[in-house]
Structure 1
Amino acid sequence: MDLNVNELTSSSLLNDNSKTLVADMKKSNEMHLKFDDADAEKKSSASSESVIMMSMVRGYQLSQALYVAQFYVRRTLD
């Protein structure tokens, strides 16, 4: 399989962006753990942020999967 420069760049950028999202998710989880259990408002806020971050990561992973599937479908049809 031969890839042109744009395809390699796109794959590399997708991988870098995925790593960034995972790192952000880990930071969000760490913040969630640091909050005092007695402070319900902060804990609720951190929990909501964690849920939003997980949704973003899952959505991004889905977009990566669709990008790869589209790439292989195009290659198959050519």
Structure 2
Amino acid sequence: ISAPEFASGLSYVAISRVKTLDGLIFESPFDRSRIYREVPVQSMQLKIADYEARKLQLLDTQEEEVDSSD
């Protein structure tokens, strides 16, 4: 975890996959910002913007009742 990441979020993924604390050792201390960022990185900002834009495009899934007595 002490080496710079070549892709954002690798430290978080590594830590999140730990099932038990037995045998978990960090070779050097690391800052909270290593696994949590106050301001999302650019790729996450783009994903959030895309999600927000797509939310506005949601189709209504409730079908109107059609009178079949015609």
Normalising by structure 1, we get a TM-score of: 0.29
TM-score by length of 2: 0.31
Greater helix proportion: 1
